[in-house]
Structure 1
Amino acid sequence: MTTGPHTALPRPTPTQRWLALVFVSLAMFGNYYVYDALGPIIDLLREQEGFSYVQTGWLYNIYSLAAVLVLLFGGYVIDRWGTKLAIVVFSTICLIAAAVTASTAQFEVMLAGRFLLGLGAEPLIVAATAVLAKWFKGRELSFAFGINLSIARLGSASTDWSTSFAAPLYENWQDPLWLATGVAAVGVTAAMLYWVSEKRAEGRVDLGAPPETDKLDLKQMYAFSQSFWYIVGLCVVFYATVFPFRAFAIDYFQQAHGLDRSTAGMLSSFLPLAAIIVTPLFGLWVDRVGHRSVFMAVGSLVMLPLFLAVTYLPPGPEVGVWLPFVGRAQVPVTLLLVMLLLGGVFSLIPAVMWPSVAYIVRENRLGAAYSMMTLCQQIGVFLVPLAVTSMNQFNAAGPENTGGYASGMWFYTTLAALGLFFSWRLWQVERGPNGHGLERGAKEMAAG
């Protein structure tokens, strides 16, 4: 709760809150677009510039390495600078990173650009998350997070769709990356508009207590409650399961189920598309009814059998699907249902998990909390693909040996089971005397 003169100020109006959400979400849109812009040109880098699979792999891995290095202190920096400055600075770093990556095909330079992107993009996500907690805490917080995630993931989907609406650019590897740089510039513009909106709101509305200026003390800065660490545990295993699976999904569907590239790509796209549509709806629902730890447990439970389903269940009959900018395809019904359910889980858990932290951690430490949470997430996302690809290689997985993929799918299932355990323990703690109100809905919070 705020103290002192802040209690006399009104909370932001709906117009102020939603305008801030739009600006921050557009900055995130640019961030997501730049990160995923590499995917559609991987084959062009190999064909036109002679890049190896190892080199293109490191263009992704170096991002996570940079994120791990910066996030330990990134939250402290955000808490000290304030969100309005942090949003502008980190989005600008993303713009510079995009330009560096697009400037030359020299591997070391592109690697430096992707490293720089990791230094800017993940703290930008942390700062954006802290912004939403500041403006929406107690008022449609989960719904706001859902809208933000949907707009950000639309950036990822737009990168995939750019092969259609910007098809002439894909005659070479470089022009699509310059397009991504232009999108990043739009994100910086949105960040600057957010800076203006928060600057104008200061002293007029209650945005919480100003950040403290205590000296850097890692032991105290990252000393959080038991509930927080259970959420972090769920965050790590959830993203370390979904992100690597999606990264290799197209290849897996081609090799293990015999789909062609376009059909496999369409099938894989149902995961983010489902999340774009459903995430805000889950957020709105959770804001009304509460039971946040229960929803996280339900999402973990639904995810548990999905990886085994694509491994052991028959693909089933083919059904026709159509997507704008993509076209039509015939996809196996079992695989389609699995991807839609996984998309639903990818909507539910993040829509509940991220805003829950705002109820557990004090406002002046949200930057540090979200930074630590994202840091742990990136470690998991970095390590799990190494483990799964090693399993696939050891078991000689491929079209002639589709059973070789089973060990990786069991590994994903084990991670999902850990997520169920963490969410169950969170539910136990939140029902007890040390709970933080995660189970309360809008009416109960309004009643005090």
Structure 2
Amino acid sequence: MEEEEEEARGLLADGPDEAGRDAPAVPGALPALCDPRRLAHRLLVLLLMCFLGFGSYFCYDNPAALQTQVKRDMQVNTTKFMLLYAWYSWPNVVLCFLGGFLIDRVFGIRWGTIIFSCFVCIGQVIFALGGIFNAFWLMEFGRFVFGIGGESLAVAQNTYAVSWFKGKELNLVFGLQLSMARIGSTVNMNLMGWLYSKVEASLGSAGHTTLGVTLMIGGITCILSLICALALAYLDQRAERILHKEQGKTGEVIKLTDVKDFSLPLWLIFIICVFYYVAVFPFIGLGKVFFIEKFGFSSQAASAINSVVYVISAPMSPIFGLMVDKTGKNIIWVLCAVVTTLASHMLLAFTLWNPWIAMSLLGLSYSLLACALWPMVAFVVPEHQLGTAYGFMQSIQNLGLAIISILAGMILDTRGYLFLEVFFIACVSLSLLAVVFLYLVNRARGGNLNYSARQREEMKLSHAE
């Protein structure tokens, strides 16, 4: 549930002009907060957009925040525990292609957002009921349902953003949405363990019932997201009536036949993406117990350090995005990010240095990679194939996450954390090799992936002439 997908959607998004720019006069004098043309109203809409994804991101990493409790109360090993992440990813191997189509052609942005929010809510309730009834298979099914809604809700969120803020404000809006998503993940990491202990004290003992009740309380954030979806639908319909504004569109045009035309640089970008992210998200999913066992951290301190990646990415993603825009040199920035991630995993695996150092490096490199890697797709793919390229990239990313999540659990059960870290180092090393190869291929072909900002501007001007 990541920023990379949001940035991808931002590149793809294509909606109507900024609401109200050439709109007819609104009949009667409306208060600023109720007038779709006024800044106050648009800020209200932005607030709802930001909270729309809060519940989804908060609940996505519920298993990571409660890793010890889930394994103990449900009596499962790490392999089965990691299935909670794999089942989230499986539906998104397909839905990356279908989510935009369903929003554009079937439901419309308003009903699509409400329906996907409902999937998130229902999935979290089923997940919690699995704990209450001591049925792990029900928890897995809940995560599957949750996954159906989670990624598609991010698409809907960005479609709303483009519909209301297309123009100079859009990058800022995407940055704010991303920051709120990361705040949701951070709050989850630091709150759920404390909440479990409070529920345990109230019920008198730990166990699967305590786990289920804790997850059900956490699901309140999903209801908040659903309320935001309903409010956004009402305000968007009202703006359409007052301003004759069209419904937002994702701008996706996906044709699977385009895959055969993908170039070698694009396939290398896919490889970098998959092998990089499988060394980040599954690690965070298993990180809490790692910090407790290897470094002797308390449960609360382990949760705090496990959330550092999200804490850093909230403010740094917009800053790095601006930096990459200003400097260009995308391959160099991706190379820096991958090398730093490799160093981070090596520090965690082979040293006893304070893990705050390694996790801070991981947070910085994770933020930088997303800003530099995902826009490169637009440099190597014709505009009419962008939807297919980004859909395919997200699809194989989710396939990789699903498979590696299961594999990481198996490695941890049989070989331990050191071997797991070596496995993650191997994944990042493959990503590094792909970056080096991409640099060489781009240079040999005279490609534009590593152009500076000035070279890109000159290229645009030459094309315009």
Secondary structure at the aligned position of 2:280 is classed as helix
Match 2:274 to one of 236, 253, 257: 236
Letter in 2 for 1:31: S
Kept after mapping to 1: 8 A contact 2:19/2:165: no
TM-score in terms of structure 2 length: 0.73
Residue 101 of structure 1: aligned partner: 127
Distance in 1, matches of 2:181 and 2:150, equals: 12
Which residue in 2 is equivalent to 1:420? 435
Give the letter aligned to residue 371 of structure 1: G
Amino acid at match of 1:305: A
The answer to whether residue 404 in structure 2 is matched with residue 377 in structure 1 is no
Structure 1 match to 2:9: none
Distance of 1:227 and 1:17 partners within structure 2: 40
Residues 75, 367 of structure 1: 8 Å contact kept: no
Q: Hey, what's the Cα distance between the residues in 1 that align with 2:315 and 2:401?
A: 24
2:177 matched residue in structure 1: 148
Residue equivalent to 2:416: 397
- Report what 2:95 is aligned to: 70
Within 1, Cα distance between the matches of 2:444 and 2:45? 33
> Offset of 1:183 from its aligned partner?
0.8
**Corresponding letter in the other structure for 1:253:** F
Amino acid at match of 1:146: G
Structure 2 CA distance for aligned equivalents of residues 123 and 222 of structure 1: 26
1:31 lines up with 2:56 in the alignment: yes
Offset at residue 114 of structure 1 (A): 1.3
* Deviations 1:134-174 (CA, angstroms, capped at 9, x unpaired): 66666355544332222112111111222477452355112
| Alpha-carbon distance between aligned partners in 1 of 2:422 and 2:18, rounded to the nearest angstrom | 56
RMSD of Structure 2 on Structure 1 (CA): 4.4
Q: Is the 8 A contact 1:142 1:287 kept in 2?
A: no
List per-residue Cα deviations over 1:195-242 (Å, max 9, x = no partner): 344445556569888969x9x853248966766555433332221121
Residue-by-residue CA offset, 1:289-316 (whole Å, 9 max, x unaligned):
554454333322332322223333x434
Residue matched to 2:218: 180
Structure 2 unmatched ranges of 5 or more = 1-11, 23-35, 202-209
Q: In the alignment, which residue of structure 1 is the partner of 2:4?
A: none
Partner of 2:118: 92
Q: Does 1:342 align with 2:367?
A: no
Distance, in Å, in 2 between the alignment partners of 1:123 and 1:409 is 28
Please say if residues 79 and 365 of structure 1, whose CA atoms lie closer than 8 Å, have aligned partners that are also in contact: no
Number of matched pairs? 421
Aligned equivalent of 2:231, options 180, 193, 199: 193
CA shift, 1:175, in A, is 2.4
CA pair 110-73 structure 1, distance change in 2 beyond 3 A = same
2:189 is the alignment partner of 1:160: yes
The residue that corresponds to 2:155 in the other structure is 126
- Letter of the aligned partner of 2:403 in structure 1? L
Match of 1:169 among 195, 199, 206: 199
- The question of whether the paired residues in 2 share the 8 Å contact of 1:130 and 1:366 is answered with no
Q: Aligned partners of 2:222, 2:291: CA distance in 1, in Å?
A: 32
Name the aligned partner's letter for residue 54 of structure 2. Answer: F
Does the C-alpha gap of structure 1 residues 87 and 295 become closer, same or farther in structure 2, counting only changes over 3 Å? farther
C-alpha distance in 2 between matches for 1:206 and 1:124: 20
Secondary structure, aligned partner of 2:307:
helix
Matched, 1:80 2:99: no
Report the Cα distance in structure 1 between the residues aligned to 2:357 and 2:188, rounded to whole angstroms: 24
5+ residue gaps, structure 1, are 317-331
Alpha-carbon distance in structure 2 between the residues aligned to 1:7 and 1:135: 6
Structure 1 vs Structure 2: percent identity of aligned residues?
26
Give 1:273 shift: 1.2
State which drifts further: 184-193 or 44-53.
Answer: 44-53
Name 1:298's counterpart in structure 2. Answer: 336
1:53 Cα deviation (Å)?
A: 4.6
Residue type matched to 2:314 in 1? I
Deviation of 1:365 (Å)? 7.2
Measure, in 2, the Cα distance between the counterparts of 1:178 and 1:271. Answer: 26
Deviation at 1:40, TM superposition (A): 3.9
Shift of 1:344: 0.6
Deviations 1:312-362 (A, max 9, x none): 3x434xxxxxxxxxxxxxxx2xx2221111101122222344466577778
Contact 2:18 2:167 in 1 (8 A): no
Report if the CA contact (8 A) 1:275-1:347 is conserved: yes
1:111 maps to 140
Distance 1:50 1:293, change over 3 A: closer
CA contact (8 A) 1:24 1:190 kept: yes
The one of 231, 237, 246 aligned to 2:284: 246
CA distance in 1, matches of 2:231, 2:111: 11
Instruction: Indicate which of 315, 328, 331 corresponds to 2:352.
Output: 315
2:31 alignment counterpart: none
